[in-house]
Structure 1
Amino acid sequence: MVVSFIGMASQEVSIKQNVSIILKSDTKVLGEVMVVAYGTAKKESFTGSASVINNKKLELRPISNVTKGLEGQTTGLLTTSGSGQPGEAAKIVIRGYGSINASQDPLYVVDGIPFSGDMSSINPADIESMTVLKDASAGALYGARGANGVIMITTKQGKEGKTKVSWRSTTGWSSRSLKAYDMVDQKEFVQLTYEGLRNGYIFDNGYNWEAAGRQASADLGGVLGGEQYNPFKNYTWGTIIDPATGRVQGDATSAWNESWMDAIQRDNAFRHEHQLSVNGGTEKTKYMFSLGYLNEDGILINTGFQRYNARANINTEVNKWMKTGLNVSLSNSTQNFSDYEGSSNSNVWYSAQFMAPIYPVYIKGEDGKDVLDADGNRQLDYGDGSVQRPQYSDFNPVGGLVDDKADIKTDVAGLRTFLAFGSDSEDAGWAKGIKLTLNFGLDYRNKSQKSYMNMHHGNQAAAGGLLMKYNRRTQSYTFNQLLTWGRSFNFHNIDLLVGHEFYAYKYEFLSAGKTNLVDGILELRPGTNLYNADSYSEDYRVESFFGRFNYNFNEKYYFSASIRTDGSSRFQKDNRWGTFWSVGANWRISQEKFMQNLTWISNLSAKISYGEQGNDNLLRYDSLEGGYVPDYYPWQGLYPLEYPNANQVGGLIGALENKKLSWEKSGNLNVGIEASMFDGRLNVSAEYYNRKTTDMLLGYPKATSSGFSEYNANIGSMRNTGFEFSLGGSLIKTTDFIWNLTWMGSTVTNKVLKLTGESPEIIKGVFSIKEGMPINTYYMAKSAGVDPATGAQLYWVYDKDDNGNITNEYISSDYQKAANSKYYSGSRIPDLYGSINTDFSYKNFDLSILGTYSIGGKVYDSLYAGSMEVMYAGNTWNKHALRRWQQPGDITDVPRIQIGGSYTASDRFLVDASYFAIKNITLGYTIPKQWLKKAGLESVRIFGSVDNLALFSHLDGMDPQYNFKGETDYSYAPNKTYSVGFEINF
């Protein structure tokens, strides 16, 4: 006889008159039960689409933010690589792009309560599992906040048994994971600058080649900053070019050759992390306590992330009718970062790459040697001396990290508590199976930010320095009441849920700044000039009523239905309430009689679901916050009181109201099939989804005579469809050796269905949002190569008639015509993306490898474009510019260099976004238990890992995972991290 139970290892026993059976926990079987909205469900019976990532997967990677642990672990989930700044989160979208102007972020739920704190405050070591809910059947019970998917985080709980103590430590070092753009050296830079000046005189001013060369040599020093910045001390700027060849003198020798990229980076950034946990309990009371500490240096000097964590989780059975629990978490973190981010020229990462190599990091004398200060220290060159640099004057990337300070200190506290009444005992009589659960959750976050720009150098030196301080405080609480009832009779199994939930959120913002500071005192009081003072607060409330019905017949046919009604404070009272619902069915085909002879199939099921969800997380741009933030009052007219009239308060109308504004809605269809074969040795799943978003918030055009160009309205729609598959199993499984392999893949096809009738297209830079096309389709000039006679960049251009129809298409070098002759050139959306995950175990050794991939799609590499179409003297070139056109008859794909030239964005810099990345390799060894008995240890494992080992893409220096939109930005790529560590269980 075989005896089994969910969460326990099956046992085969002989049939006797009296049999005592003790089942042991089986961690592999525990995966059959997963955490879902307001409860748990068996995986094989679930009608929706969900994936579970257990803590073992998270522990493999040295991550400081749990969002980065999701990469490559489930289908349908796209992630960005995120910044290399320690503590930064990855951006995530689930099953395509849910909106144009509203948030696309999923909802995070921690231990059953929506989470409003920082994801960086959660210690990955405290997590037991994460469940990703992807469709309406899985997430409809979260109503207005579940349209973009739900990520449920469950922290570790206490377990019955003796107290167990676990200690885990890792230490390691990080370096840059992505090879830098290959830029020209000093001689090559001077050569290209000379040619750029010469070509300007030839093609713009009519000079002949010889005269243009002479004039370019004469002007070279003036445009590059004079002899102060001439590293070739055996020549002047006027003689550095050989007039006979038009080349840099061959015997020119450099007095300095300093690397800006080396100067702003650490050779090795140190990282160490330590975790202590205590776990145990009795039959009635179970507990888990943990402490964590992380200290991670960034690869940029003076950057890093430090975090302290504590968590206590206690559950107790007061009596057979009542249970209660308390989960408390605390986090304190400090993030030191560069405040020079976002814009290009003031960004230390960007400017260090594109600063011309002739410019030194430190001030040089006439002999080319360092000029020391009174203390014998080198002095940073800010380009603001007697002769200024033509680019990046009053700025030094190293100084932006050394002389200027920026940090964020964050305190986060979380509380989860529940009180449950009810019993499954026969003694309960008619009340058997009825349970009432009260859940309360509280999240508090206080974030203090300091930004200092020094008084001696840089863009605030003239003002005597600038100190800004910001405080952002959020508080939220959730209180829900759940009434459940479950009963089985004959072959019928029913469970019901009805509930009520109230959610309240408050955000408070305060900022102040002063200039003309006292040197060395980073406080506002000594500053004499007020630079900024501002504050505001925002409130958000949601009240909800919901219910769910689950039924199955003989654990063969499953049906589920859920409904939720939300009232959101974001909308006017007449449009405040919305109802969201889902239905789903699952047929376990393997339970049918006609399948019984197919013993090699252990599970085969087919499922279908449909539902509607909402999205009230609308966005607005806030200049103080430096980006898009939640819009808590989108329907209201705005009257910013920021325009004083003398000493009286003054304001302007900022936005028109629309009382009819309401939810964005998402209808989701999901069809799937799952199979498990050969006793679980082979597992296959495939799903199709169709997700249509309607009532998208867009700006509706308004007559300009009204003084406004548009107002907010629910008028847009968009569709995402796709397929997902997962194929995995044990390729080899013997007593000593196991090899598991999993291949995951996903597709997404996006189409904008409707914009406003008067404006069926939205143009944003190089992107177009147009009806009938994918969101953020590239819309730019089309390159036609290089003119071999002149070296000019050629474009395809066209003329239009009065009706806007193209009448004539031809090739031209006129960049203005090209700017007005744009073409649709594809999008960032890949054809296929996913991961390959494999692990091996041989006796006590284990090895795991995670790779992610993306096939298709394009990225506009604006950074590469900026280093190939250099318009201003002082910026440097990519090495590829050495393939440039130089004289009539040259055949090349790189046009002539020309300082002061004019260009327009073109598909010349659209790069195939396909890539393959080796995300993690971990090798471990578990010491045999017989070696540990005398030491009183239960287990010891030692391990080593490398994270972000390699990225293979179509262009060195470019990370195609930067963002979802498809353009490079000014953030540095995630770090490559080598780690070693151990885990001891006492």
Structure 2
Amino acid sequence: WNLMEEKFMKRLKDMVPEFKIRGSYGTVGNAAVPAYSSHLKFYPGMDDSGNPTLAISDLGNENLKWERTRELNIGIDSRWWGGRLSFSAEYYNKKTKDLLMWQKVPSVLGVSSILTNVGSVSNKGFDIMLGGIPVSTKHFKWDINYTLNINKNKILELDGLSNTLITTGADYPGLVGSYVQMVGQPMGTFLGYTFAGVWQKSEVSTAALYGAKPGDAKYVDINRDGKIDKDDIGIIGNAQPKLSFGFNNTFTIFDFDLNIFWQGVAGNDIYNQNRVRRETYSSDAFPTSTVMKDHWTPENPTNIPAFSGAEYVNSSRWVEKGDYLRLKNITLGYRIPHKILSKIGCSSARIYVSANNLWTITNYSGFDPEASMGADSDAAGVDRGVYPSSKSFLVGLDISF
């Protein structure tokens, strides 16, 4: 509904040529069901006598169907002052049902799980866009475009058997499975102990009550039962950003153009698994991080555990803020004047140089806060040494005849 077409708004149309209110509601399906998932599958082998055998590799599920997402959208779109300023804001509410998930089955069936349609998840939030042309003259123009996304993700239902699914299948999170799926929490939630520093020499008697000694890692006794066990494990972070944003600026000066694009996120956590082996001691690993030069000793009582106080468990010690602002792209171009192109039969030509991932502002200690994003939403935010986003430089020529 374009309000500016109504009689009572027409006197403002010169200033506000467009002001639309829109809404939509619908259902869309996701048909990305793995091939042959509805069929019982086997893999061939041989027994001790060399006879061929068949063993079940996957249970079939003939009731598999598409995932379904129902979405409500309500938004406004407006242009002001002849299009010099544009604004768009949208509220969305998505609910996905019949999620494709692996559900546990009795081990006597020969496999551990079966693919089925269970669980649901919701996403609610706002998409906001602001664009404009602050300056426009004969030889200079400045275009801006800002985008902001605010999203709240929540798991509504899992496999119907449990309200918590740990990736490793263990009773409590291990180093491989620091992320979990929990009803009422966002995807990519981290579980672990709350790190409270290091036991100091003045705390010898208290540390002994927990089976620890000065120099060992200290954890919060959540239920205050005088011991640290799986009942003290809680939520220590989440990979979902509260804000995602980007802003794009394009400057045109005579025949030159400069485009600068910034992008970033805020409010998310990263579980830095790379630090675990570099900052802890075990039978198969020795600290290699330079941080450990300042580890706890009786003469140097810091808050970095001693070598003998190995902290080889999930804890908030490894969780870091994942906020970042990145200069995603900067491009400088030059449009060759037409009077030069006409001599060689070209209609247009532009020379440009571009740089990607040139600069990143972040407090994250890993190589790249963006590289931590997992391919699966439930594994997002766990940094296992994914190859970081690399800087790249490009020189090009666009030409038309």
Q: Of 316, 328, 331, which residue of structure 2 is paired with 1:922?
A: 331
Deviation at 1:944, TM superposition (A): 1.9
1:960 paired with 2:384, answer: no
Report the counterpart of residue 850 of structure 1 in structure 2.
261
Alignment partner, residue 88 of structure 2: 685
1:667 alignment partner, SS class: strand
Tell me the CA shift for residue 970 of structure 1: 3.0
Unaligned runs of 5+ in 2: 168-176, 202-213, 375-379
Conserved in 2, the CA contact under 8 Å of 1:870 and 1:877?
no
Contact kept, 8 Å, 1:818 with 1:904, in 2: the verdict is no
Distance 2:8 2:303 in 1: 65
Following superposition, the deviation at residue 830 of structure 1 comes to 0.4
Whether 1:783 and 2:186 are equivalent positions in the alignment is no
1:795 paired residue number: 219
Q: Could you report, residue by residue, the CA deviation over 1:517-563 in whole angstroms, capped at 9, with x for unpaired residues?
A: xxxxxxxxxxxxxxxxxxxxxxxxxxxxxxxxxxxxxxxxxxxxxxx
- Of residues 19, 25, 43 in structure 2, which corresponds to 1:640? 43
Paired position in structure 1 for 2:306: 896
1:911 is displaced (CA, Å) by: 0.7
Contact 1:795/1:818 (<8 A) preserved: no
Cα offset, 1:638, TM superposition:
2.3
**CA distance in 1: counterparts of 2:364 and 2:62, whole angstroms:** 49
Equivalence for 1:977: 392
The yes-or-no answer on 1:938 pairing with 2:347 is: yes
Equivalent residue in structure 2 for 1:735, among 110, 135, 138:
138
SS across alignment from 2:292: helix
Instruction: Tell me the equivalent position of 1:886.
Output: 297
2:22 aligned residue (607, 613, 616): 607
Could you say what secondary structure the match of 1:930 adopts? helix
Match of 1:867 in 2: 278
Find the aligned partners of 1:859 and 1:865 in 2 and give their Cα distance.
Answer: 13
Query: Measured at CA, do residues 617 and 940 of structure 1 come closer, stay the same or move farther in structure 2, by a change above 3 Å?
Result: closer
In the alignment, the residues of structure 2 paired with residue 853 and residue 951 of structure 1 have an alpha-carbon distance, to the nearest angstrom, of: 9
Q: Note the alpha carbon deviations across 1:887-930, whole angstroms, 9 max, x for none.
A: 16x4422111239x452021111010100000111112223222
Aligned equivalents of 2:346, 2:43: Cα separation in 1: 65
Instruction: Report how far residue 872 of structure 1 moved.
Output: 5.3
Select 2:3's aligned residue among 582, 589, 596.
589
1:713 partnered with 2:120 = no
The answer to whether the 8 Å contact 2:136/2:142 transfers is: yes
Matched ranges for 1:465-504 at <5 A: none
Measured after TM superposition, the shift of residue 865 of structure 1 is 2.6
What's the counterpart of residue 947 of structure 1?
Answer: 356
CA contact (8 A) 2:119 2:160 kept: no
Deviation for aligned residue 1:956 = 3.9
Query: After the TM superposition, which residues 513-592 of structure 1 pair with which residues of structure 2 at under 5 Å, given as runs?
Result: 587-592=1-6
1:827 to partner: Cα distance: 1.0
**Unaligned regions of 5+ residues in structure 1, if any?**
1-586, 619-630, 799-805
- Relative to the length of structure 2, the TM-score reads 0.86
Task: Identify the match of residue 125 of structure 2 among 707, 711, 722.
Answer: 722
What is the CA-CA distance between 1:709 and the residue it aligns to?
4.7
Asked if 1:755 is matched to 2:178, the reply is no
For 1:944 and 1:643, the matched residues in 2 are separated by: 60
Q: Does 1:651 align with 2:66?
A: no
Distance 2:114 2:345 in 1: 70
- CA–CA distance in 1 between the matches of 2:40 and 2:362? 47
Confirm or deny: 8 A CA contact 1:860 1:968 kept in the other structure: yes
Give the letter aligned to residue 595 of structure 1.
M
Give the match for residue 244 of structure 2: 833
| Other structure's SS at 2:382 match | coil
Root-mean-square deviation (CA, aligned residues, Å) is 2.3
Q: Structure 1 residues 983, 757: closer, same or farther in 2, change over 3 A?
A: closer
Judge conservation of contact 2:98–2:120 (CA < 8 Å) in 1: yes
The 1:984–1:714 alpha-carbon spacing in structure 2 relative to 1, beyond 3 Å, is closer
Q: Percent identity?
A: 30
Which deviations, in whole Å up to 9, do the C-alpha atoms of 1:759-797 show, x marking residues without a partner?
221012111211111122111121111112221111124
Q: Deviations over 1:666-695 (max 9, x none)?
A: 111111110111111111111111111111
In our comparison, the structure showing a higher alpha carbon Rg is: 1
The one-letter code matched in structure 2 to 1:590 is M
Aligned to 1:410: none
Q: Is the partner of 2:237 in helix, strand or coil?
A: coil
Matched, 1:694 2:97: yes
- Equivalence for 2:172: none
Equivalent residue number for residue 571 of structure 1: none
Distance 1:924 1:657 in 2: 56
Question: Residue 205 of structure 2 corresponds to which residue in structure 1?
Answer: none
Distance in structure 1 (CA, Å) of the matches to 2:91 and 2:7: 28
State the match for 2:173 in structure 1.
none
Aligned pairs (5 A) from 1:204-223: none
CA–CA separation in structure 2 for the residues paired with 1:604 and 1:652: 64
2:234 to 823, 830, 836: 823
Matched residue, 2:67: 664
Paired residues of 1:819 and 1:904 also in contact (CA < 8 A):
no
Aligned counterparts of 1:742 and 1:633: Cα–Cα separation in 2: 45
**Does the Cα contact within 8 Å between 2:322 and 2:364 map onto a contact in 1?**
no
Q: Are the aligned partners of 1:614 and 1:663 in contact in 2 as well (CA < 8 Å)?
A: yes
Question: Could you say which residue in structure 1 is the equivalent of 2:79?
Answer: 676
Alignment partners' CA distance in 2, 1:956 and 1:758: 38
Mapping of residues 58-97 of structure 1, within 5 Å:
none
Q: Does the Cα contact within 8 Å between 2:180 and 2:191 map onto a contact in 1?
A: yes
Contact 1:701 1:759 in 2 (8 A): no
Paired residues of 2:56 and 2:111 also in contact (CA < 8 A) = no
Q: Which amino acid aligns with 2:387?
A: Y
Query: Is the Cα contact below 8 Å between 2:23 and 2:75 reproduced in 1?
Result: yes
Q: Is the 8 A contact 2:144 2:250 kept in 1?
A: yes
Q: TM-score, normalised to structure 1's length?
A: 0.36
